[in-house]
Structure 1
Amino acid sequence: MGRDTVTGTAERREAPEERGTRRSTTMHGHGRPDRDIPAHGRVEGFAAGERQAGYRQLWIEEPARRHPMPDPVRTAAVRAVLIIAVTLIQAMVAFLCTMADSWLAFPMVISSVVSTVVATWAVVDVWVTRQVWNQRYGVISEPSSTARTLRRERRTRRRRERAALREQERIHRRGGAGQLSHP
């Protein structure tokens, strides 16, 4: 039995001599043997969610770390990417036409300059659309729980300080009566 270390954990692997007896060696796809799928795991039509012995998932879905872009921002970003791609193609064609001394070089340079201005506007449009969306829908005007907790602690501390100050003033008004020791 062999052992392989995978990201700090040990996984049990079959020895090469055992692998040949358990795994299928049928030809799959491009003339190579399909060694990843066990021979007993080739049952068609098992229900979704059922797992058979030896079945290995292709991928594991993980929750997204960030929320996807809002639709207006995504639309503006796709538009900007397409415009930038066309601008780069125009610039490349203008360069090649210039190198080939073609009559098309001058019109292509002019269109590349215009397209660069449009591409810059498209990028600014993405930024403005994102800012507008965040301003309208993205900010929830509630104090965070951390800020609320800090404010509550500050208020409690101020109350204690005021109570201690009132107690000191009360003691001083009595003329020192109530003090356990004199300085």
Structure 2
Amino acid sequence: MPDAVRTSAVRAVLIMSLTLIQAMVAFLCTLTGSWLAFPMVLGGVAGTVVATWSVLDVWVTRQVWNQRNGVVSVPSSTARRMRRERRRARRSARTAERDGTGIRQRREKSGDLSRA
């Protein structure tokens, strides 16, 4: 998960957990008949609106990130195949370079055939 999406997701989880705690306190205050019940219920409604907004923020942030940076996915078989081809090309270039400049090649080119 990208950093921006992770940040908004953590924020949403914290807001949702605080809203659930507030709802539980409002419920308990209502059961006991406390004067704090009505303000807590109003706070719970506001918290629910904020929690919904934060979940929508996660969704929008994820969509924006995907649109700007492309979809993050595990390497597909196509990506693996391309990596393998690049690796083979590098290996073959290295071996061709080694074969062309080996000790035997240099001796044969210089005319020194005492060791064959």
> Which of these residues, 101, 107, 120, is aligned with residue 33 of structure 2?
101
SS at match of 1:111: helix
Q: In the superposition, relative to structure 1, how do residues 131 and 108 fare at CA in structure 2: closer, same or farther (>3 Å)? A: same
Compute the displacement of 1:120 (Å): 0.0
Compute the displacement of 1:138 (Å): 1.6
Q: What are the ranges of 5 or more consecutive residues in structure 1 without an aligned counterpart?
A: 1-68, 147-183
Q: Residues 93-124 of structure 1, C-alpha deviation per residue, up to 9 Å, x if partnerless?
A: 00000000000000000000000000000000
Are 1:132 and 2:64 counterparts? Answer: yes
Count how many residue pairs are aligned between Structure 1 and Structure 2.
75
How far apart, CA to CA, are the structure 2 residues paired with 1:89 and 1:108? Answer: 11
Q: Residues 127-179 of structure 1, C-alpha deviation per residue, up to 9 Å, x if partnerless?
A: 00000000000249xxx998xxxxxxxxxxxxxxxxxxxxxxxxxxxxxxxxx
Are 1:71 and 2:3 counterparts? Answer: yes
State the partner residue of 1:114: 46
State the partner residue of 1:89: 21
Compute the displacement of 1:84 (Å): 0.1
SS at match of 1:135: helix
Higher-Rg structure is 1
How far apart, CA to CA, are the structure 2 residues paired with 1:138 and 1:92? Answer: 41
* Percent of pairs with identical residues: 77
Structure 2 letter corresponding to 1:87: T
Q: In the superposition, relative to structure 1, how do residues 145 and 83 fare at CA in structure 2: closer, same or farther (>3 Å)? A: closer
Structure 2 letter corresponding to 1:130: R
The answer to which structure, 1 or 2, has the higher relative contact order (CA under 8 A, 6+ apart) is: 2
CA RMSD of aligned residues (A): 1.8
State TM-score, norm by structure 1.
0.39
Runs of 4+ in structure 1 over 3 Å off:
none
How far apart, CA to CA, are the structure 1 residues paired with 2:77 and 2:25? Answer: 57
More strand by share: 1
Q: What are the ranges of 5 or more consecutive residues in structure 2 without an aligned counterpart?
A: 79-116
Structure 1 letter corresponding to 2:47: S
State TM-score, norm by structure 2.
0.61
